[in-house]
Chain A
């Protein structure tokens, strides 16, 4: 049977991923937390259904959708690096990395195999959580476009998260250090950008912060992707559950562009995360190379061309994604 260049490590990783209890726990954790979040928010809605502003069926669906999406995105942000943060460092720690060097396997086979296996696990997690989203159908109010936008944001966040975890793992060669580095940077990214946006807002008469402050934040990207799914404006939202408040909090108001409508901040995030994934993957390849680590090779040329192609694509589509950064 013929197998591709990454196949040995990929099959090994696939087998390892499901052998322990980690995957089962991850699945139970993700789906359990999502279901609990859906039930809690539903209970909150029911508790005040006949009080405050009236809610139509679609609005309940939208509130559930927004809550679930944000909860799952938050989980993915922190789970995705966890799937790869020990991928290379554990080989070093177990002393198997030297053994791998004795095999004909190239660094790209090693890194790609680890990455694909981790990303596949994340895909399984996202797929497994979709039945929880089906609760939203009970009330409606969410379009197919909304769902696609949210899924793309989740997937690209998962991709960057797993590549970044791999990068930390390769850079530190110690799982402990890799975890520390990875999560310190993640928390800085998520919390720091929101803090910076809030500070800017405080220093500027509570004006919405420029989009550039929060576009790298995965939660802000998800919040922006969810804004078009907000309830219709015909019914006033003077009381009760106000999902928009949460969305505005996560984006410091940059999504609300007045007459211009909704600011598609998430497009810029998609482009940034795609580019960063390529760069981190490239860097990880070199970090996983045992000797003459920074010497360019054919793979670098290929990756350079891919990155160049990506940049050309980004430039060509600049009007599309830069619309998320500029207020009208």
Chain B
């Protein structure tokens, strides 16, 4: 039947068209000469909002080619890529870092040449949100007896064996992990980049565990002292009391191990002469050094081991982010700085005075000028011709001038946060926000050491900031960025870089504290400022080779309330100038405020208190220059923590021993004197803490300053302070509010910590303001 044949023909034609369409969409060309093997880190497990390293093996048995290796979640508009030169017969191994914000289960890796796919691999992923990601950098699996997923209610464990050869050489590669156990693998065996990555990861909030036992010395060899909580002593039997305390059950018995000698500022847990472990805070993260072998058979056999590990293996900090709970503040920092990108620069104004001068002359000429001239010749009627002629000529002149000196319409805001993680090493994160009047492509010149990704959308004060869309080549000095018109779009880049010669020290000299900043780098440090305890010390600008020392104020300024934001303390003058009627702070100040807030952010409500030293740099160390003419605003903040040096008697007035909101698990209340601790019906327990570097201070005189927003009850308030030696609360006779002098204060202050418990009618006091004055000796 003709009609049936026609139908079959049409169907075949349609099928052919569809097949053509399919092949047109996925132009995969079988390239027999090129092979690709891809392996995701952590067995494909990753935390959304982090970077996932993918190990790639490329083999080219054909002629030499240049290819682009890209990886991205299926259907995502964002792919991370890297250009690779493949000579004939080359075998190349490389790590591709892929930014993964979505919860995806597959990742497509492609090798492309001129939009033609030469090889492709699909990897299986497992997004892990709100889970404990533990990397085991160990010689052999220690068989940790960890709690099973079904036995815990939150934060289940995920463990991965990390191969030292493929250990990420960038901090971003570790961003999925909360915990790393380093045991029986010498730190010295890691290459410098891997070491820097590990140190940077700890500084940013990671929790590093160092295994003890007979191989401990080998493990920590060449580890920087700033990372180590303790030095090693003789072989000892380690009492299991601390393990019992964490598991609340009979212990495994004494474990063979090494004596740990805690460094100043570190907290030892267990017997004073042979603690079971020692911890110290490093930046935002922490390091825990075990005295015993974590893979000890007795520990593996111990029934309560899961409860013990559950308590000990905690992330250094738990930060609530849009991607779940994470152990770094990276995402919060990114949000804060990205929002700060909306503080775009002011236009570079053209020299308009010339134009207005022309217009002034024109006004004189076209009015009285022409009238007088024509009157001289008695030809006033000619004005009908002369006036339009002069107007047209002047118009042409002004138009020409205007076009010649027209200002640049592209605006670029460049913000960067440089955080010193080691004395000569810094983590640099740069952000660029761009606003262009027409859709166009610009090129970004940045460090070829930097990983680049689009910023996540954030609402700034002056508009929404969105990420750039498209492929982003990694580790490339020159990136094409497609930009839409009238949208603030941005990218961010991060890298670890050596920055040598900048030191900040808090010196104890003759019983008084001084802050000293030395700049032997080639950078100019502008408006150097040290901040802590509501005190601000300004050291001015330090040129290369200069240093400055200023005494640390004994008391905070009277007009500053407790827990005032550090950014406000630093930028007080500028911000207050913008608060008057009809005034506004300059956008440069707002951009600086955003960077300061990002540098100290702790979580959504709390900030780190320091001490910090801040300085403004002239340039972003990552470059991040846009290749077209633009009006640019560049703000780069250097943040570092001063080290303490000195010994002897010391007097610390209010502001040093201050509430530790995180340890106390307290919310804040705000009253007329700033932030305080809300009194509750149940006993209010507050931990007050000294900065880590002063943790070894031996108190000789200590008076607590207890005040409240409402009237302190004249009876029925029970005031207790925890005695660390006798391990019990000691009731104090206190007729508040005011100073509570502690007799023999040494037992109440241990490792720089003091615990206060208020019970009874204290709830009537409302918001509590707690402080302390302290006199003691720093060993």
Which residue numbers of A lie inside 8 Å of B, CB to CB?
14-15, 18-19, 21, 23-25, 27-29, 31-32, 35, 38-39, 42, 46, 48-58, 60, 120, 124, 127-128, 130-132, 134-135, 137-140, 232, 234-236, 238-240
Query: Does A137 lie within 8 Å of B402, measured CB to CB?
Result: yes
Q: Roughly how many angstroms separate A38 CA and B394 CA in the complex, as a whole number?
A: 16
Query: Does A134 lie within 8 Å of B462, measured CB to CB?
Result: no
Query: Does B462 lie within 8 Å of A54, measured CB to CB?
Result: yes
Q: Roughly how many angstroms separate A128 CA and B586 CA in the complex, as a whole number?
A: 39
Query: Does A54 lie within 8 Å of B584, measured CB to CB?
Result: no
Can you identify 15 A-B contacts, CB atoms within 8 angstroms? A18-B381, A24-B371, A28-B363, A28-B364, A51-B585, A56-B411, A128-B366, A128-B391, A134-B395, A138-B407, A140-B409, A235-B435, A235-B462, A238-B462, A239-B584
A60-B347, A138-B352 given; name 8 further pairs at CB < 8 Å: A18-B380, A38-B359, A54-B346, A58-B437, A128-B366, A130-B391, A131-B397, A138-B350
Query: Does B406 lie within 8 Å of A131, measured CB to CB?
Result: no
Cross-interface CB contact of A50 among B356, B364, B392, B586, cutoff 8 Å = B586
Query: Does B381 lie within 8 Å of A15, measured CB to CB?
Result: yes
Q: Roughly how many angstroms separate A232 CA and B349 CA in the complex, as a whole number?
A: 20
- Min CB–CB distance A237 → chain B (angstroms): 9
Query: Does B487 lie within 8 Å of A234, measured CB to CB?
Result: yes
**Does B486 touch A at the CB level, under 8 Å?**
yes
- Give the nearest-CB partner of A49 in chain B: B346
**Does B6 touch A at the CB level, under 8 Å?**
no
- Give the nearest-CB partner of B461 in chain A: A238
Q: Roughly how many angstroms separate A171 CA and B65 CA in the complex, as a whole number?
A: 91
- Min CB–CB distance A93 → chain B (angstroms): 23
Cross-interface CB contact of B462 among A25, A31, A53, A124, cutoff 8 Å = A53
- Min CB–CB distance B487 → chain A (angstroms): 6
Cross-interface CB contact of B395 among A32, A124, A130, cutoff 8 Å = A130
Q: Roughly how many angstroms separate A46 CA and B403 CA in the complex, as a whole number?
A: 19
- Give the nearest-CB partner of A15 in chain B: B381
Q: Roughly how many angstroms separate A126 CA and B371 CA in the complex, as a whole number?
A: 18
Query: Does A48 lie within 8 Å of B584, measured CB to CB?
Result: yes
Cross-interface CB contact of B367 among A19, A25, A51, A131, cutoff 8 Å = A25
Query: Does B391 lie within 8 Å of A131, measured CB to CB?
Result: yes
Query: Does A39 lie within 8 Å of B402, measured CB to CB?
Result: no
**Does B695 touch A at the CB level, under 8 Å?**
no
Cross-interface CB contact of B463 among A32, A42, A57, A234, cutoff 8 Å = A234
Which of B362, B366, B394 counts the most chain A CB atoms within 10 A?
A: B366
Query: Does A51 lie within 8 Å of B584, measured CB to CB?
Result: yes
User: If A50-B587, A57-B409, A134-B399 touch, does A235 touch B463 (CB 8 Å cutoff)?
Assistant: yes
Interface stretch among B91-99, B382-390, B686-694? B382-390
- Please give, as numbers and ranges, the residues of chain B lying within 8 Å of A25 by CB-CB distance: 367-368
Query: Does B395 lie within 8 Å of A52, measured CB to CB?
Result: no
Q: Roughly how many angstroms separate A147 CA and B54 CA in the complex, as a whole number?
A: 57
- Please give, as numbers and ranges, the residues of chain B lying within 8 Å of A21 by CB-CB distance: 368, 371
Which of A35, A51, A232 counts the most chain B CB atoms within 10 A?
A: A51
Cross-interface CB contact of A56 among B364, B437, B587, cutoff 8 Å = B437
**Does B628 touch A at the CB level, under 8 Å?**
no
Q: Roughly how many angstroms separate A42 CA and B362 CA in the complex, as a whole number?
A: 19
- Please give, as numbers and ranges, the residues of chain B lying within 8 Å of A128 by CB-CB distance: 366, 387-388, 391
- Min CB–CB distance A12 → chain B (angstroms): 11
Q: Roughly how many angstroms separate A106 CA and B521 CA in the complex, as a whole number?
A: 93
- Give the nearest-CB partner of B368 in chain A: A24
- Min CB–CB distance B360 → chain A (angstroms): 7
- Please give, as numbers and ranges, the residues of chain A lying within 8 Å of B346 by CB-CB distance: 49-50, 54-55
Q: Roughly how many angstroms separate A23 CA and B380 CA in the complex, as a whole number?
A: 11
Query: Does A42 lie within 8 Å of B352, measured CB to CB?
Result: yes
**Does B564 touch A at the CB level, under 8 Å?**
no
- Min CB–CB distance B351 → chain A (angstroms): 10
Query: Does B584 lie within 8 Å of A52, measured CB to CB?
Result: yes
- Give the nearest-CB partner of B372 in chain A: A24
Q: Roughly how many angstroms separate A238 CA and B459 CA in the complex, as a whole number?
A: 13
Query: Does A23 lie within 8 Å of B371, measured CB to CB?
Result: yes
**Does B370 touch A at the CB level, under 8 Å?**
yes
Closest 3 pairs between A and B when the two form their complex, measured CB to CB:
A28-B367, A24-B371, A54-B344
- Min CB–CB distance B350 → chain A (angstroms): 6
Cross-interface CB contact of A46 among B349, B402, B488, cutoff 8 Å = B349
**Does B221 touch A at the CB level, under 8 Å?**
no
- Please give, as numbers and ranges, the residues of chain A lying within 8 Å of B486 by CB-CB distance: 232, 234-235
- Give the nearest-CB partner of A27 in chain B: B367
Q: Roughly how many angstroms separate A5 CA and B346 CA in the complex, as a whole number?
A: 60
- Give the nearest-CB partner of A28 in chain B: B367
Contact with A along B668-705 (1 / 0, CB 8 A): 00000000000000000000000000000000000000
